[in-house]
Amino acid sequence: ATLESDLAAERDQLSAMMASKEREIRLLRDQINEHMREYQDLLDIKVSLDLEIAAYRKLLEGEEERSVTVMLL
């Protein structure tokens, strides 16, 4: 009976450890998903800002060309 009770106790301990690890894995997956959402949000903002910068750069280049043309006349 001692061997059986020892095995049962070990099984219970291992089951508790397994459940703890499964909770830890779930938590880490949730954190990864949250980080991925944050990363995607930041990437969307970056792309938006890059497009806005490109538009302003084009406007500035157009102004510079007009200024040079006016100076040459």
Q: What mean pLDDT comes out for the span 55-73?
A: 84
Q: Tokens at residue 20, please? A: 């703890």
Query: Among residues 14, 26, 10, 68, which one has the least CA distance to residue 60?
Result: 68
Q: pTM of the entire structure? A: 0.66
Whole-angstrom CA distances from 61 to 54, 55, 69 are 10, 10, 12
pLDDT at position 35: 98
How sure is the predictor about 1, in pLDDT bands with cuts at 50, 70 and 90?
confident
pLDDT band at 60 (very low <50, low <70, confident <90, very high): very high
